[in-house]
């Protein structure tokens, strides 16, 4: 299960030296000695998202492969059965919960799922008890994606900073036992609680844990082996459609607002203009905006304009200057507003999504 | 196994509309109607790399989840047993090869592994026969990471463009039945052959297939759901230590060359200087460089300098100007040479690895 030799080491005609990161480094030196082995337990349930589990698991397994001596992470996969099917249909063999003592869990990893299987997991008393017991003694309590709802529902993260898939941010904020939601983070760490944004952000989180445990050189090495960025530029905002202004306002007195703003992006628009168009006093309009959108009128306006910028950036051929002109920004103003909102520059965004 | 409702759709207090990508889009419209379902078969074997499989599988599963009507991809997992253990220890239930007819495979997916399990897979006659039969009728024959060696060894990709994990590039070039190796690609497509670089590059490749099958809007939507970049800037060069000059020259007459070049990075160095230092004529030195490094003397010099640049960029605090000064480049010269080699600018490299 653990392979000491890296793949092409002895196959390779010209030879390859493990641990070599560049000409300045010592060659033939492994990057780190392992810490004492930590028991990492992934809690699976019917229709879980397999990538939420296998992403972090393979990061830890790679850390094991590159370590000298004891592997730093001992991986276990448990469920309330002996096998469990992921949402993709992949079938996983697991250790039954009742045969694994939760107290020995040092890192508890809870993956996410779609709504229906997540509700089923939340209704599973045996699974809840096991997770609660494991969480009470674990050095790290971790969730990937919508797995945060399981931790929240068990009251394990109240008042702590946490995140989840961008689709679930609003909901997590309103969930009983809710954490303080960090809506832009790819992952968060607050005391012994680690949570990640959607799906592949679990890989970024696992890499950050390895960096904490074994150092930056080890994390960089693992990132290279798995062909990962060590750090992804920008937060999860850039992946999301965080607004959903139309959805939010659908059945309210502000249903026309997003469309009206969309239709006049290049014109200067004041809060008075917006209130007039909605047939409300400025005071009422301001109050309704906060109630419907969780945003002030000017924030709503900015959101509409930035969403249009984002859509236009995804068309590869439109120059930034043209995008600014079509959305009522100056060139510099667009760059600043976009970077503030999404954590990356417009040109970096285009490189990843354009 | 297939979930029509996106996770927070009905849970969410404010509602969420599937298919909404921005205010400019139509709301409540799913992004695509599905094509007829394609049978995708992942061929597993002992100690395969689970992320090579689950990364692409979850991309296809997400495409199924978002589609109307028939799911576009029918996922199957086969091995020569009923279960198989991945390198991380995760146990997968599989359909036995002898119960699945290879001819019905429309997309054949072969994952990678470390050297030892890969050699075992190559020695497995039943597995070889099944893969060969499936490949002969499949519309797409695909490998992730070192899975390319299985296809190469079966003579399935001779003369075609392909890639593999950066560690295996040199070896693949020399393998019997070798493809034309593209050393910088995250993935390649040549006719019905798709190959990807190491591990997570399989996710990039699967996303490109979905873009081909279902369009760019669908791929962008799936990328967002899985919190992936649609396109990662730069090729796989930026993840690798492609040089290994020290390893290559270890037991040769040029063993001192990399160290000697390292020691005088800021000095102007000619081919004559290098030949003199190695005690050879220019003509002999040039010939030996090509034989040992596959590079001309000036390419070796550039490689040494760029590897130092890369290492210094990974130290977050050193200004680019200082790095240029320490490696004998002008500021502009460093930017140009670095971008040419790695496909990203020095500052973008630092954002991802610094």
Note whether A86 and B88 are within 8 A (CB): no
Residue B23 lies in a domain: no
- Both A169 and A292 in one domain: the answer is no
A112 contacts: CB under 8 Å, gap ≥ 6: A48, A49, A52, A118, A143, A144, A145, A146, A147, A148, A149, A164, A165, A198, A199, B7
- Both A232 and A262 in one domain: the answer is no
**pLDDT surpasses 90 at B250:** no
Mean pLDDT across chain B: 88
Residue B1 lies in a domain: no
Beta-carbon separation of B247 and A47 below 8 A: no
pLDDT at res. A128: 97
Beta-carbon separation of A1 and B89 below 8 A: yes
Note whether B155 contacts A: Cβ–Cβ < 8 A. no
Smallest CA-to-CA distance from B115 within B140, B70, B146 is with B146
Q: What are φ and ψ of residue B107, in 5° steps?
A: -125, 115
- The distance in angstroms from the start CA to the end CA of chain A is 40
Q: How far is A261 from chain B (nearest CA, A)?
A: 10
Pairing of strands A91-93, A95-96: unpaired
Pick the last residue of a domain from B236, B264, B289.
Answer: B236
Q: Which residues of B touch A201 (CB under 8 A)?
A: 227
**E strand spans, chain A:** 38-43, 73-79, 83-85, 91-93, 95-96, 107-110, 140-143, 161-162, 180-181, 187-190, 193-196
Residue ranges of B 260-279 with Cβ closer than 8 A to chain A: 262
pLDDT at res. A242: 60
Q: What is residue B209's three-state secondary structure? A: helix
Note whether A5 contacts B: Cβ–Cβ < 8 A. yes
Measure the CA–CA gap between A55 and B55, rounded to whole angstroms. Answer: 8
Q: Considering CB atoms only, which of A10, A58, A244 is closest to B50?
A: A58
Burial class (CB in 10 A: 0-12, 13-18, 19+), A191: exposed
Beta-carbon separation of A200 and B197 below 8 A: no
- Both A198 and A272 in one domain: the answer is no
Beta-carbon separation of A227 and B199 below 8 A: yes
Note whether B60 and A88 are within 8 A (CB): yes
Measure the CA–CA gap between A291 and A257, rounded to whole angstroms. Answer: 14
- Both B224 and B252 in one domain: the answer is no
Structural domains in chain B (count) = 2
Residue B30 lies in a domain: no
Confidence of residue B170 (pLDDT cuts 50, 70, 90): confident
B106 contacts: CB under 8 Å, gap ≥ 6: B38, B39, B40, B138, B139, B140
Residues B103-147 have pLDDT tens digits of: 999 999 999 999 999 999 999 999 999 999 999 999 999 999 999
Pairing of strands B107-110, A107-110: unpaired
Note whether B248 contacts A: Cβ–Cβ < 8 A. yes
Smallest CA-to-CA distance from B195 within B248, B124, B135 is with B135
- Both B149 and B254 in one domain: the answer is no
* pLDDT tens series, chain A, 354 aa: 333 333 333 332 222 323 333 323 333 335 676 677 899 999 999 999 999 999 999 999 999 999 888 899 999 999 999 999 999 999 999 999 999 999 999 999 999 999 999 999 999 999 999 999 999 999 999 999 999 999 999 999 999 999 999 989 988 988 988 889 998 899 999 999 999 999 999 999 999 999 999 999 899 999 999 999 998 988 888 888 665 787 788 888 998 999 999 999 999 999 999 999 999 999 999 999 999 988 999 999 999 999 999 989 998 889 999 999 999 999 999 999 999 999 999 999 999 998
Q: How far is B279 from chain A (nearest CA, A)?
A: 22
Residue B22 lies in a domain: no
Residues B189-201 have pLDDT tens digits of: 999 999 999 999 9
pLDDT at res. A250: 80
Pick the last residue of a domain from A190, A211, A237.
Answer: A237
Residue ranges of A 318-347 with Cβ closer than 8 A to chain B: none
Beta-carbon separation of A352 and B88 below 8 A: no
Residue ranges of A 62-121 with Cβ closer than 8 A to chain B: 65, 75, 77, 83, 85-94, 112-118
**pLDDT surpasses 70 at B21:** no
Range B84-95 average pLDDT: 97
Note whether A283 and A273 are within 8 A (CB): no
- Both A167 and A248 in one domain: the answer is no
Pick the last residue of a domain from A177, A210, A237.
Answer: A237
Residue A144 lies in a domain: yes
Q: Considering CB atoms only, which of B58, B93, B165 is closest to A51?
A: B58
- Both B273 and B344 in one domain: the answer is yes
pLDDT at res. B147: 97
pLDDT at res. A11: 33
A204 contacts: CB under 8 Å, gap ≥ 6: A186, A187, A196, A231, A232
Asked which of A328-337, B9-18, B164-173, B220-229 is least confident by mean pLDDT, the reply is: B9-18
Could you tell me which residue, A69 or B19, shows the higher pLDDT?
A: A69
pLDDT above 90: percentage of residues in chain B:
70
pLDDT at res. B31: 60
Q: Considering CB atoms only, which of A166, A262, A314 is closest to B23?
A: A262
pLDDT at res. B2: 35
pLDDT at res. B13: 27
Instruction: Quote the domain boundaries for residue B297.
Output: 241-353
Q: Which residues of B touch A58 (CB under 8 A)?
A: 49-51, 87-88, 199
pLDDT above 70: percentage of residues in chain B:
90
ipTM value = 0.86
CATH number at residue B185: 3.40.50.880
The pair of structure tokens assigned to B167 is: 């560690």
Q: Which residues of A touch B170 (CB under 8 A)?
A: 8, 12-14
Residue A1 lies in a domain: no
The pair of structure tokens assigned to A302 is: 């900015």
pLDDT at res. A12: 29
Measure the CA–CA gap between B329 and A178, rounded to whole angstroms. Answer: 53
- Both B45 and B67 in one domain: the answer is yes
Q: How many CB pairs under 8 A join A and B?
A: 327
- Cα separation values, A124 from A121, A127, A150, A274, Å: 5, 5, 11, 49
- Both A155 and A183 in one domain: the answer is yes
pLDDT at res. A68: 84
Beta-carbon separation of A241 and B21 below 8 A: yes
- Both A200 and A297 in one domain: the answer is no
Residue B16 lies in a domain: no
Please, which residues bridge with residue B324 across strands?
none
- Both A177 and A270 in one domain: the answer is no
A221 contacts: CB under 8 Å, gap ≥ 6: A19, A21, A31, A66
CATH number at residue B245: 1.10.10.60
Beta-carbon separation of A1 and B85 below 8 A: yes
Residue B7 lies in a domain: no
- Both B112 and B202 in one domain: the answer is yes
**pLDDT surpasses 90 at B202:** yes
Confidence of residue B154 (pLDDT cuts 50, 70, 90): very high
**pLDDT surpasses 60 at B8:** no
Closest-CA residue of chain B to A41: B90
Beta-carbon separation of B226 and A198 below 8 A: yes
Smallest CA-to-CA distance from A205 within A156, A144, A248, A251 is with A144
Note whether B194 contacts A: Cβ–Cβ < 8 A. no
Please, which contacts does A120-123 make with residues 24 or more away whose CB atoms are closer than 8 Å? Answer: A120/A45, A120/A46, A120/A47, A121/A45, A121/A46, A121/A48, A121/A150, A122/A149, A122/A150, A122/A153
């Amino acid at each position: 299960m653990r392979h000491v030799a890296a793949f092409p080491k002895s196959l390779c005609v010209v030879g390859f030296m493990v641990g070599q990161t560049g000409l300045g480094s010592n060659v033939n030196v492994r990057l780190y000695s392992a810490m004492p082995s930590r028991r990492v337990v992934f809690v699976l349930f019917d229709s879980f998202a397999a990538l939420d589990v296998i992403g972090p698991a393979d990061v830890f397994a790679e850390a094991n492969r590159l370590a000298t001596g004891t592997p730093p992470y001992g991986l276990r996969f448990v469920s309330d059965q002996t096998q469990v099917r992921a949402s993709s249909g992949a079938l996983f063999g697991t250790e039954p919960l009742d045969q694994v003592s939760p107290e020995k869990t040092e890192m508890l990893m809870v993956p996410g799922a779609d709504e229906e299987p997540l509700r089923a997991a939340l209704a599973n008393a045996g699974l809840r008890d096991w997770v609660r017991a494991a969480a009470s003694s674990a050095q790290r309590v971790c969730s990937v994606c919508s797995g945060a709802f399981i931790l929240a529902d068990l009251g394990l993260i109240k008042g702590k900073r946490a995140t989840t898939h961008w689709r679930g941010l609003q909901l997590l904020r309103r969930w009983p036992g809710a954490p303080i939601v960090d809506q832009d983070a790819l992952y968060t760490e607050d005391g012994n609680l680690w949570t990640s944004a959607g799906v592949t952000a679990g890989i970024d989180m696992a890499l950050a844990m390895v960096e904490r445990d074994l150092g930056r050189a080890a994390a960089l090495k693992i990132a290279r082996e798995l062909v990962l960025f060590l750090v992804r530029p920008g937060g999860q905002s850039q992946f999301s459609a965080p607004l959903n202004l139309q959805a939010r306002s659908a059945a309210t007195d502000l249903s026309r607002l997003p469309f009206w703003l969309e239709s006049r992006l290049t014109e200067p628009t004041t809060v008075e203009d917006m209130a007039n168009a909605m047939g409300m006093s400025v005071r009422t309009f301001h109050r309704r905006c906060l109630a419907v959108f969780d945003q002030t009128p000017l924030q709503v306006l900015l959101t509409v304009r930035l969403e249009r910028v984002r859509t236009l950036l995804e068309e590869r051929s439109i120059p930034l200057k043209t995008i600014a002109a079509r959305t009522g920004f100056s060139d510099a103003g667009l760059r600043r507003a976009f970077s503030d909102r999404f954590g990356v520059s417009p040109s970096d965004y285009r490189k990843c999504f354009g």
